[in-house]
Structure 1
């Protein structure tokens, strides 16, 4: 069921509400929805045909990407995952060959090693980026975790931006957003993918 949070709700309130809501969903329901999202992405041309897929490494109650990453790698696909540069407040992506290459980094997230080379902007052409978020709206606006890392990266990212969300993370009303917020092009849920363009 879509949310009724409106534009008058500030981002902090939205973050708190959607984090609680997401964590309240039973694990079995989350697993079923996430498996459906994975299947849908496998048949969605922007992600299924991209020469390189950039994906966050899920943690907690986020839409699970670990099985997706492992499946892509098993099929010989190229995968990049993010590494946070806390001092510069920026996000870079590094290509990996397996999840076993990752270790706890900034904010306790699994990341590539500090000496792993980051993918250049030219290498990102034609790729697809799977974007996390606590809540999305029909225009592709999202409320994330408040660090701004993804918005800074997506501001220059040349490929397709695909938000991953369970249906309960879709707001029926427009979300508050600022000039620096970058909308996704598509949102993939357990019921399908829709365009936000």
Structure 2
């Protein structure tokens, strides 16, 4: 493993710092930032071409994805959200409305049991995945919440990976990374997009 005690300590300190920064951002400021982020996302080629959107369900001070889900449904896209498993893996299930969500394993909103079977990797081809994180660097690497759920999922995910990022979530320096860390392809901010992977342009 490429992970070292020093790298782990660095990630932990960054995680704590960016949780603090995001939590102390006032709700009106978050809302002012999040609406243009969604507008920028809707102009992204990967979003326009995707018939299926995989997204986390935002909570607390995260960039709002409830509006994103409603926009996707309005545009005729299918929406799938993850269910956390005790093995620290994710299963994505298609949901038809926010009424299909209920509190899950970690207290996050997840698909209810009536949402059918999880999507297979083959069914995700041509989709776009909205990836959560606390801070991102210009190469698309991120500091997440420390559970490793998304890195395990993204290792086999066949579509394009997108992060919704407020200005304070952008790091001007490379973030500590391990060999299993998976970068996103796109950073979407309120002022534009940044391609982290030239192969998807």
TM class by shorter-chain length? over 0.9
Q: How does 1:40-189 map to 2 (within 5 A)?
A: 40-86=40-86, 88-114=87-113, 116-189=116-189
Q: Deviations over 1:149-175 (max 9, x none)?
A: 000000000000001110110000000
CA contact (8 A) 2:51 2:76 kept: no
RMSD: 1.3
Q: How many residues align?
A: 190
Contact 1:132 1:165 in 2 (8 A): no
Mean CA deviation greater in 177-186 or 8-17 = 8-17
Q: Cα offset for 1:114? A: 3.6
Give the Cα separation in 2 of the matches to 1:117 and 1:8.
Answer: 35
Give 5+ residue unaligned stretches, structure 2: 1-6
Structure 1, unmatched stretches of 5+, are 1-6
Aligned 8 A contact 1:167 1:191 in 2: no
Q: Is the CA contact (8 Å cut-off) linking 2:133 and 2:163 kept in structure 1?
A: yes
Secondary structure in 2 aligned to 1:163?
Answer: strand
Deviation of the 1:120 alpha carbon: 0.8
1:4 corresponds to: none
User: Separation in 2 of the partners of 1:178 and 1:66?
Assistant: 31
Question: What is the alpha-carbon distance in structure 1 between the residues aligned to residue 52 and residue 117 of structure 2?
Answer: 15
SS at the partner of 2:106?
helix
Answer whether contact 2:55 2:81 (CA < 8 A) is retained: yes
TM superposition score normalised by structure 2: 0.91
Residues 135-162 of structure 1: CA deviation (Å, up to 9, x unaligned)? 0000100000000000000000000000
